[in-house]
């Protein structure tokens, strides 16, 4: 029985992973450290994903995963962390929806462990307990984004 033919012209590689921008603010310290532990902080995490073409002929793209984490207690900011984790990816042999999926899903999964570590490290160095970002289903986010855009009326 013959094996299915694999398209050997498809390339997906990571050329570089780097932090593009990083910010840490802690307006609630040192007061946050002296307040009673029973007043738990509310933690909020927001995601953003952008990508752009660096060299289309060579299939080189930059993808930036942004994570913003905030902690508040009694409507006062304790800390705010924002990390823009970026990567340069080489993707050739695919186009259209498959390329968009690779940029919006596969590249995001590659960047997630790096941004999780950076956020956790900043929060810990700020004197707070570690902040572990839960696993993220980028495929679901991608599908929801596409469904929202498809449902949006167009103006002719």
Q: What is the pLDDT of residues 61-113, one digit of tens each?
A: 999 999 999 999 888 899 999 999 999 999 999 999 999 999 999 999 999 99
Neighbours of 138 (CB within 10 A): 20
What CATH number belongs to 11-151?
A: 3.10.420.10
**Domain edges within the chain:** 11-151
Minimal CA–CA distance to 115: which of 150, 64, 44? 64
* pTM: predicted TM-score of the whole model, two decimal places: 0.86
Q: Using CA atoms, how far apart are residues 61 and 19, in angstroms rounded to an integer?
A: 15
**Strand runs labelled E in the chain:** 11-25, 42-55, 60-73, 76-92
**By three-state DSSP, how is residue 105 classified?**
helix
């Amino acid at each position: 029985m013959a094996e299915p033919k694999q398209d050997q012209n498809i390339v997906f590689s990571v050329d570089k992973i780097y932090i593009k921008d990083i910010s840490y603010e802690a307006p609630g310290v040192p007061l946050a450290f002296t307040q009673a532990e029973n007043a738990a902080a509310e933690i909020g995490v927001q995601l953003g994903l952008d990508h752009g073409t660096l060299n289309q002929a060579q299939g080189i793209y930059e993808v930036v995963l942004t994570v913003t984490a905030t902690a508040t207690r009694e409507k006062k900011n304790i800390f705010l962390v924002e990390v823009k984790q970026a990567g340069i990816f080489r993707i050739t042999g695919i186009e259209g929806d498959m390329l968009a999926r690779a940029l919006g899903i596969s590249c995001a999964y590659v960047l997630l462990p790096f941004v999780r570590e950076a956020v956790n490290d900043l929060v810990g160095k700020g004197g707070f307990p570690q902040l572990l970002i839960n696993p993220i289903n980028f495929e679901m986010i991608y599908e929801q984004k596409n469904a929202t855009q498809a449902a949006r009326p167009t103006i002719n």
